[in-house]
Amino acid sequence: MSSHRVAVFLLACIASIPSGAEDPPPFSADPQLAPFVERWSGLMDLFDVPGAAIAVVRDGRVNVQTFGFRDPSSRQPVTPDTLFYIASITKTYNATAIGTLVDQGRLTLDDKVKDHLPWLDLPDPELNATLTVRDLLSHRYGISSGTIVLLDAYTGEITDDRYAYWLARCTVSGQLDYSNVHYTLLGRLIEEVTGMDWRDYLEQAVLSPAGLERTTGYASVLYGDPDSATPTTRIDGEWRATAVRKIDRTMHAAGGLGTSAREAARYLMLHLGNGVIGEQRIVSESYMEEMRTLQASLPEPDGSIRVIDGFGLGWQVGTYAGATPLYAHGGGYDGTSAWFALLPDQQAGIAVLINGDGPARGWGDIVAIDLLEALTGVAPPWSPYEKFSERMRQIKAGDAERPPVATAAGEVSTLPTSSLSRPIGMYTGWFHHPELGTLVVEATDQSLSLHLGDAPLNVTPGDALDLFIIEDTFEPPPPCRFVVTADGKINEVRIDEKDLGELIFSR
């Protein structure tokens, strides 16, 4: 490379470095929002909330309030730029990316999916031939596969062949039914049309032009950032990082983004501006209106405060308290919770980011309803603050069942040597299943730990030697066994799964 081209390249790199904008004002700077800081802070311990960042957008103004810590080890505080995993809210970003392809004439909403993905082979032949891009964006037909979600979102053991294999064996409800499969199909459609990984196209077409410089679809970037929120759980009063955390190959198009409160606010402003942010138009106004138009309806509205009528393109479509138009989406995963909302009539938006799950989601619900009331001036028909707080006090007192929480790192259950018939070293190794991937068995502290791909498995001994149960990956938990051959070798692991039948993993 010539010295001139090197100089140009370096100047371009320097120009791309964020200039370090001032932090948006906290809630204390706004008399309407200031009372919430103490109110919510006082509930964090009750609801097991490690850290959070809340953004409110109104008429182009942004306030961000942060709470707690972003990492259970360092206890460093959450900042407006702390990156949180936002899980299924990713769907709204990819629905926005589809809009850029529609605007460019490379797709239409009523294109047949099979015209772009000829390998599509749904068990319903009629739907296979007629399924459209619009149908996927609005979850219209309820195409579902728990196995695809397991491989895509947890084990990372998905391949194109496995995806097609399990898609051909999926279930189709024939009515609106929310499913990750719709958006992992859309991710593959984006890749087919553009020739780019869905994350890279999203960055090129939406994130970068909108100034979302830190929002990323790569877990290695998200968790490699020094200002990122570690997925966290609380067990017996102790804060711990979760055992399950996203890696690059489990960041999929239905749930594969991390962002900060500052950039979440900017994303909401893009939608409140009908595709324009600053002087930059990212998506056409007509497509943005389609995103907020009811495309597929629920049989009956769902909810009593945040009332959901169905789906537009990506966004849930409904009302707050039965009156104010509300467009929203939530997301959750082990040790993380998030919720975004648009209130176009008020030119307002809300983003709630939490590095906790379980009870912490109830705290997020209180935050959401408090802000909806403040922004609309309409009181909810009942008080989540009072009801959820009382419920958590009952749980903490042992008078009610505790919501499930993520497993902490180091807390995944293993098989003791007492449950094995052979020396522990004979069990270790990799066992393969053609459609489910790799079962990894390792010896740790005189016990066996098991992983399915990148997902740690909670396992407990069965009622005989070499039998065990996988507790939280399949429903119901299936009985499993190490198969010991006549000559004493262990070459297979067999899992008796209720819906899938006997699954044989072989060395």
Tell me: the pLDDT tens digits for 187-238?
999 999 999 999 999 999 999 999 999 999 999 999 999 999 999 999 989 9
Q: Please indicate, yes or no, whether residues 50 and 144 belong to a single structural domain of this protein.
A: yes
Asked if 190 and 113 count as a contact pair (C-beta separation under 8 A), the reply is no
- Output the pLDDT for position 3: 37
Closest residue by Cα to residue 187 from 256, 127, 264: 256
Q: Please indicate, yes or no, whether residues 396 and 419 belong to a single structural domain of this protein.
A: no
- Output the pLDDT for position 437: 97
Q: Which of 387, 408, 429 is the last residue of a domain?
A: 408
pLDDT beyond 80 at 331: yes
Share of the chain above pLDDT 90, in %: 90
The residue that leads in pLDDT, 1 or 160, is: 160
- HEC string of 222-289? HHHCCCECCCEEEECCEEEEECCCCCHHHCECCECCEECHHHHHHHHHHHHCCCEECCEECCCHHHHH
Model confidence at 444, pLDDT cuts 50, 70, 90, reads confident
Comparing 154-163, 173-182, 467-476, the range with the smallest average pLDDT is: 467-476
- Output the pLDDT for position 4: 35
- Output the pLDDT for position 409: 84
Domain that holds residue 461: 415-506
Q: Please indicate, yes or no, whether residues 464 and 434 belong to a single structural domain of this protein.
A: yes
- Output the pLDDT for position 405: 82
Question: pTM score, two decimals?
Answer: 0.93
The continuous run of DSSP H or E covering 468 comes out as: strand 467-470
CATH of the domain at 201: 3.40.710.10
Q: How many domains does the chain have?
A: 2
Model confidence at 17, pLDDT cuts 50, 70, 90, reads very low
Model confidence at 425, pLDDT cuts 50, 70, 90, reads very high
Q: Please indicate, yes or no, whether residues 200 and 292 belong to a single structural domain of this protein.
A: yes
pLDDT beyond 60 at 12: no
Q: How confident is the model over 248-256, as a mean pLDDT?
A: 98
CATH of the domain at 448: 2.40.128.50
Q: Which of 363, 378, 408 is the last residue of a domain?
A: 408
pLDDT beyond 80 at 503: yes
User: What mean pLDDT value characterizes the chain?
Assistant: 94
Q: Which of 373, 391, 408 is the last residue of a domain?
A: 408
